[in-house]
Amino acid sequence: MSRKPNFAIDGPAGSGKSTVARELAGRLGLLYVDTGAMYRAVTYFALKTGIDPENEAELDALVKDIRFSLVIFSKNRTVNLWCNGEDVSPFLREKEVSCQVSKVAAAAPVRKHLAWYQRRFARAGGVVMEGRDIGTVVLPDAECKFFLTASLDVRLARREKELRAAGKSWTKKELCCELTYRDEMDRKREIGPLKKAPDAVVIDCTNLTVEQVIEKMLESYGGG
Ligand code: DC
């Protein structure tokens, strides 16, 4: 059987990566991997165990103790992240996790460990992996690379809708601070910053529906 392609999708928070990546994976019969969830999971455990999100040595010890697995529910095509046999998905969108995750994601040992897992998930091909450094660092040889962007207003509106649907209440101000702070931290960190890979196709999703973004991706994939 021929090897299935890997798709790398990067972009800032709220650019629409998750929705599009999940839908694309479903249509092509590939595995959807949300790498942001892995950084959020490490943050959740750090907060739970009282580890300072800026203490690299403690984060190093913590992350080495976490076994990540992807549990696929074929019925509704969801993929949940489990850590050491526990489904951590319900905790990953907590306010405190969202506010601290960029600090944890800047720690070199955390990035190294998670990138190792992410490459393992993709080694046989057939993943749609979304994050910040997938096309540049984690899967530089991915067959298809996309970098999604959208205006700040649209990204804020998307996040607000997402959080409302999840029953979480954030004020507009809190949301704006969280999003712009995370973007800045993600862009300026030394290792694996949020950056477009030179060979990634940029899609501005500001005025596009999910369907239109998927169409562009499939066009680019087919024509590549
Ligand atoms: O995609 P997300 O918003 O759930 O990601 C949460 C945080 O994780 C984000 O602020 C940056 C970090 N992250 C990262 O540094 N590298 C990735 N590949 C994915 C996410």
Domain positions in the chain: 7-218
The 3-state DSSP class for residue 157 equals: helix
- The DSSP letter of residue 4 is B
Indicate whether 224 pLDDT > 60: no
Per-chain mean pLDDT for the chain: 93
Considering only CA atoms, which of 92, 217, 96, 80 is closest in space to residue 148?
217
Which is the closest atom of ligand 1 to the Cα of 10? Answer: 18
- Give the CA angle between residues 37, 176, 52 to the nearest 5°: 50
Write the CA distances from 99 to 5, 22, 185, 193, 223, integer angstroms: 34, 24, 11, 18, 40
> Which pair of tokens denotes residue 168?
């979480």
Cα-based angle 78, 84, 88 (whole degrees, multiple of 5): 45
Q: Taking the model in full, what pTM does it have?
A: 0.94
pLDDT of 162 strictly over 90: no
**Helix, strand, or coil here: 221?**
helix
CA distance 100 to 102: 6
Question: Does ligand 1 come within 6 angstroms of the Cβ of 10?
Answer: no
Is residue 48 predicted with pLDDT exceeding 60?
yes
Say if residues 191 and 132 touch (Cβ distance below 8 Å).
Answer: no
The residue whose C-alpha atom lies closest to atom 18 belonging to ligand 1 is 131
CA–centroid distance, residue 78 to ligand 1 (Å): 19
15 pLDDT band (50/70/90 cuts)? very high
Strands across the sheet containing 78-83: 68-73, 78-83, 86-87
**Integer Cα distance of 19 and 204 in angstroms:** 15
Give residue 44's pLDDT: 98
Calpha distance 129→11 (Å, rounded): 12
> Which CATH superfamily includes the segment(s) 7-218?
P-loop containing nucleotide triphosphate hydrolases (3.40.50.300)
Distance 148 CA to ligand 1 centre (A): 14
pLDDT value at residue 175? 87
Instruction: Evaluate: CB of 102 within 6 angstroms of ligand 1.
Output: yes
List, in sequence order, every residue forming a beta bridge with 128; answer none if it has no partner.
7, 32
